[in-house]
């Protein structure tokens, strides 16, 4: 009898456990989606000046070496690639309206989107960095013959240092923040989904 009373007590505790407030979860989720879209949009706006600078250099400066034009083309290609990828990401978020129709499909969409973002930040970012570095290196050939050797070494060292800081430090912070945001979004929706299953 004592065991039965204990079992009933445990059951009642579970039954009266605080339920997740679905309105709060959905509002948080909407805010996270908006922040993610806004972040992509801001990154596009930050990349646009780089393209304008490359176009300006191409049109207004007469370079002595063809490598400068090739280098600028590669840098412009990297900038365009970055903008296109961010536009695709924004489009994916805007078009993902399955939360209320098919919640489980929406959770799967988020998991796939998270995976594709991780690939963009790791494998694709390596290729992007190599291409960007190659473009800048080809562009720097122009200045190798006209600038003082120490100034040139300073510029090259500063550029390499910036690439290393971005790759080894800043990118890891960026990835961790985004992973944390995705984890929070997915976990909240999964908990909400499980709660509705339990109530049915």
- The contacts of residue 43 (CB under 8 Å, 6+ apart) are 82, 86
Do residues 121 and 175 lie in contact, with contact meaning Cβ atoms separated by under 8 Å?
A: yes
Tokens at 125, concatenated: 């970012």
Lowest-pLDDT range of 29-38, 97-106, 134-143, 174-183: 97-106
The whole-angstrom distance between residue 174's C-alpha and the CA centroid of its chain comes to 7
Taking the C-alpha atoms of residue 200 and residue 195, their distance in angstroms, rounded to an integer, is: 9
Question: Could you report the per-residue pLDDT of 155-179, keeping only the tens digit for each?
Answer: 889 999 999 999 899 999 999 998 9
- The contacts of residue 111 (CB under 8 Å, 6+ apart) are 186
Model's pTM, two decimal places? 0.79
Question: Could you report the per-residue pLDDT of 78-99, keeping only the tens digit for each?
Answer: 999 999 999 999 988 887 775 5
């Amino acid at each position: 009898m004592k065991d039965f009373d204990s079992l009933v007590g445990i059951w009642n505790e579970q039954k009266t456990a605080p339920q997740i407030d679905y309105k709060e979860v959905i509002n948080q989720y909407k805010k996270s989606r908006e922040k993610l879209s806004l972040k992509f949009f801001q990154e596009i706006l930050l990349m646009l000046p780089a393209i304008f600078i490359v176009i300006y250099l191409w049109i207004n400066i007469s370079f002595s070496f063809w490598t400068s034009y090739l280098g600028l083309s590669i840098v412009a290609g990297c900038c365009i690639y970055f903008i296109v990828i961010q536009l695709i990401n924004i489009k994916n978020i805007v078009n993902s309206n399955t939360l209320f129709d098919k919640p489980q499909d929406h959770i799967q969409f988020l998991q796939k989107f998270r995976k594709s973002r991780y690939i963009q930040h790791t494998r694709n970012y390596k290729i992007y960095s190599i291409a960007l570095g190659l473009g800048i290196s080809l562009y720097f050939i122009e200045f190798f013959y006209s600038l003082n050797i120490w100034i040139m070494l300073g510029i090259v060292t500063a550029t390499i240092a910036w690439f290393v800081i971005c790759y080894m430090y800043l990118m890891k912070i960026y990835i961790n923040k985004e992973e944390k945001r995705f984890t929070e979004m997915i976990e909240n929706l999964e908990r909400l989904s499980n709660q509705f299953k339990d109530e049915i």
